């Protein structure tokens, strides 16, 4: 993990996470320059490196300021941008009343350097609006916590996402922000940038196994799939839940819904690192999609009480991890289904042998 490589000023944030394999390298470039975003770049070189022209990156025309060297080693690149936070509440007649949007590209972000943990491979971007006339952020902030992984495993805190070494986690946190209405709910807009020929698809997988995330039976994935060979290039994966506590328990669950995937070419994400890598004309050369993820129950009471909301998602390269039935659930299913089957089998055998035995009151003549 590198913080602002080649730049000694901490007034801006750029975090480079590099994972080197025997013959390839994965690059994650996180930044809060503009809207918070992450670049995902896969190369077929074990020595590819990130290059940043800081003077150009911080200029009004950042196109070309970020690249991977050697450029010929890049086989896939994409971006995920966290663009806006919406706050809304239900008015009379079940209509939704929206308050002025929080545009994350206009936030002021703290230095990540103070939160960077090279041992745990974690960092946190925390910010507040540059102008806050209503004072909603006087005691609050929006945060994005980043975690990289060296091996496969499962997170301990809920929602206990299953991860691989080819993935990273981002946790969206809304802490201490004063709601502007009774029963306010919040939504996060997430935009993706993909190469032409790569299409985003929203998938939902349901399972009866909720051992690791109690009461949550749905997993959603935003999958980037190539139209040429139908191979999966990258993914953004999350459980259909958020939580209202720093140490989440089952009772802290906040309902999470996902809107439909929309083409967003009409409103390109405002992010300097996206423009710096893909260029100013990336709207015509790349596909931009957006999805809204909303948090809150019918009346938003969970956030009103605790003033805390966290939502975790996994992003990475290749196929998203898939949960299999845990040994505990397999054992329960074996007992639940095996016992009736064993009783039926034993009962059938008893009836079969009992039917073959004949009874008579007469003795045979011969």
* pLDDT for the residue 359: 52
User: Who has greater pLDDT, 41 or 197?
Assistant: 41
* pLDDT for the residue 72: 96
141-155, 246-260, 283-297, 323-337 — which one is most confidently predicted on average?
A: 141-155
Phi, then psi, of 241 in degrees rounded to 5: -160, 155
Phi, then psi, of 357 in degrees rounded to 5: -85, 120
Q: How far apart are the first and last CA of the chain?
A: 97
pLDDT above 90: residue 231: no
Give the chain as a 3 state SS string. CEECCCCCCCCCCEEEEEEECCCCEEEEEEECCECCEEEEEEECCCCCEEEECHHHHCCCCCCCCEEEECHHHEEEEEEEEEEEEEEEEECHHHCEEECCCEEHHHEEECCHHHHCECCCCEEEEEEEECCCCCCCCCCCEEEEEEEECCCCEECCCCCCCEECCCEEEEEEEEECCCCCCCCCEEEEEEEEEEECCEEEEEEEEECCCCCCCCCCCEEEEEEEEECCCCCEEEEEEEECEEECCCCCCHHHEEEEEECCCEECCCCCCCEHHHHHHHCCCHHHHEEEEEEEEEECCCCCHHHHHHCEEEEEEEEEECCCCCCCCCHHHHHHHHHHHHHHHHHHHHHHHHHHHHHHCCCCCCCCCC
Phi, then psi, of 330 in degrees rounded to 5: -60, -40
pTM over 0.85: yes
Those residues with Cβ within 8 angstroms of residue 175's Cβ, 6 or more apart along the chain or in another chain: 140, 141, 143, 307, 308, 309
Per-residue pLDDT tens over the stretch 70-99:
999 999 999 999 999 999 987 665 678 899
> CA dist 218 to 122, 242, 251, 302, Å?
27, 13, 17, 21
Q: What share of the chain in percent tops pLDDT 70?
A: 87
User: Who has greater pLDDT, 33 or 298?
Assistant: 33
User: Taking residues 110-124, what's their average pLDDT?
Assistant: 96
* pLDDT for the residue 330: 58
50-54, 324-328, 338-342 — which one is most confidently predicted on average?
A: 50-54
Q: Which of the residue ranges 6-15, 119-128, 148-157, 348-357 would you say has the lowest mean pLDDT? A: 348-357
Mean pLDDT of the chain: 89
pLDDT above 80: residue 201: yes
User: pLDDT band at 350, cuts 50/70/90?
Assistant: confident
* pLDDT for the residue 337: 67
Q: What share of the chain in percent tops pLDDT 90?
A: 68
Instruction: Report the largest interatomic distance among the alpha carbons of the chain, rounded to a whole angstrom.
Output: 116
C-alpha dihedral, 257 to 260 to 261 to 263, nearest 10°: -140
* pLDDT for the residue 27: 98
* pLDDT for the residue 182: 81
Degrees (nearest 5) of the Cα angle 316, 162, 189?
A: 50
Query: CB of 78 within 8 A of CB of 233?
Result: yes
Q: Enter the tokens of residue 196.
A: 């032409």
User: pLDDT band at 298, cuts 50/70/90?
Assistant: low
User: pLDDT band at 271, cuts 50/70/90?
Assistant: confident
* pLDDT for the residue 366: 66
Per-residue pLDDT tens over the stretch 235-268:
999 999 999 999 999 989 998 999 999 987 656 6
User: Taking residues 52-59, what's their average pLDDT?
Assistant: 96
Q: Are strands 49-52 and 162-163 parallel, antiparallel or unpaired?
A: unpaired
pLDDT above 80: residue 120: yes
**Every domain of the chain and the residues it spans:** 78-317, 331-360
């Amino acid at each position: 993990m590198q913080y602002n490589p080649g730049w000694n000023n901490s007034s801006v944030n750029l975090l480079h996470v590099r994972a080197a394999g025997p013959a390839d390298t994965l690059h994650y470039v996180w930044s809060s320059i503009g809207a918070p975003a992450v670049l995902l770049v896969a190369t077929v070189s074990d020595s590819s490196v990130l290059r940043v022209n800081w003077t150009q990156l911080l200029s009004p025309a950042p196109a070309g300021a970020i690249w991977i060297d050697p450029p010929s080693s890049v086989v896939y690149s994409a971006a995920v941008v966290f663009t806006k936070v919406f706050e809304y509440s239900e008015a009379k007649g079940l209509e939704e009343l929206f308050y002025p949007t929080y545009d994350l590209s206009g936030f002021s972000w703290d230095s990540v350097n103070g939160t960077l943990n090279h041992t745990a491979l974690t960092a946190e971007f925390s910010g507040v609006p540059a102008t806050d006339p209503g004072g909603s952020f006087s005691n609050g902030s929006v945060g994005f916590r980043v975690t990289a992984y060296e091996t496969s495993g499962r997170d301990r805190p809920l929602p206990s996402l299953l991860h691989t070494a080819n993935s990273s986690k981002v946790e969206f946190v809304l802490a201490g922000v004063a709601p502007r209405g009774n029963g306010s709910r919040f939504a996060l807009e997430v935009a993706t940038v993909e190469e032409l020929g790569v299409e985003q698809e929203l998938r939902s997988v349901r399972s009866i196994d909720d051992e690791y995330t109690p009461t949550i039976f749905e997993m959603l994935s935003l999958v980037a799939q190539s139209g040429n060979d139908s191979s999966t290039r990258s993914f953004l994966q999350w459980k259909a839940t958020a939580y209202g506590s720093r140490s989440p328990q089952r009772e802290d669950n906040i309902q999470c819904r996902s809107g439909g995937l929309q083409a967003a070419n009409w409103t390109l994400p405002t992010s300097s690192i996206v423009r710096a890598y893909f260029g100013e004309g990336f709207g015509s050369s790349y596909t931009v999609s957006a999805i809204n993820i909303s948090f809150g129950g019918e009346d938003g009471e969970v956030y009103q009480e605790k003033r805390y909301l966290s939502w975790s998602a996994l992003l990475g390269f290749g196929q998203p991890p898939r949960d299999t039935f845990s040994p505990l659930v397999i054992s329960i299913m074996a007992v639940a289904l095996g016992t009736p089957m064993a009783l039926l089998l034993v009962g059938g055998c008893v009836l079969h042998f009992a039917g073959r035995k004949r009874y008579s009151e007469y003795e045979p003549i011969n």
